């Protein structure tokens, strides 16, 4: 039986896009690990449902467009962290480029994707709360899954 915790999962980012949308294209990129990550959120695509009710017959339910998901890492704010700096650069409203993302699970499985960063707000919740930052990375590329070795 598989399973386990997410402890040990890492997030890395690259300012470049892969030459090809496969594992080999992503492996060729230069990656920078993002430090201070507490959680990432859900990873993976969902498909929109399209419905059509026939006058004579039944309701048709068809697969519509795919949404590849959103990464929303909660990070301990660190101005000196190179990975967080890359994310902030892409979060600038004038930056329309997409960054690439690499998530490595504790067992070694990898999830590659990428997309634009729609902001990276800083969270100041109170005197006893950590200063955090929560970027929104909208994944516009299909998730490339690499199995654990």
Query: What are the residue ranges spanned by the domains of the chain?
Result: 10-48+60-146
Q: Which residues are registered as beta bridge partners of 111?
A: 103, 145
Tens of pLDDT along the chain (149 residues)?
Answer: 467 888 999 999 999 999 999 999 999 999 999 999 999 988 888 999 999 999 998 999 999 999 999 999 999 999 999 999 999 999 999 999 999 999 999 999 999 999 999 999 999 988 898 999 999 999 999 999 999 98
Q: Which pLDDT score, from 0 to 100, does residue 1 have? A: 47
How much is the pTM?
A: 0.89
d(CA 106, CA 5): 8
d(CA 7, CA 106): 7
d(CA 146, CA 149): 9
**CATH architecture for residues 10-48+60-146:** Irregular (4.10)
């Amino acid at each position: 039986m598989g399973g386990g915790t997410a402890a040990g999962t890492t997030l890395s980012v690259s300012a470049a896009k892969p030459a090809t949308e496969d594992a080999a294209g992503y492996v060729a990129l230069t990656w920078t690990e993002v430090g201070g990550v507490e959680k990432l959120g859900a990873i993976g695509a969902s498909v929109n449902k399209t419905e059509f009710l026939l006058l004579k017959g039944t309701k048709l339910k068809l697969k519509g467009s795919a949404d590849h998901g959103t990464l929303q890492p909660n990070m301990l704010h660190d101005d000196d962290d190179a990975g967080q700096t890359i994310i902030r650069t892409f979060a600038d409203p004038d930056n329309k480029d997409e960054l690439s993302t690499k998530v490595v699970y504790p067992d070694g499985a990898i999830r590659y994707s990428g997309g634009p960063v729609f902001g990276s707000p800083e969270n100041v919740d109170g005197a006893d709360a950590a200063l955090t930052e929560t970027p929104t990375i909208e994944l516009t590329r299909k998730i490339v899954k690499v199995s654990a070795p």
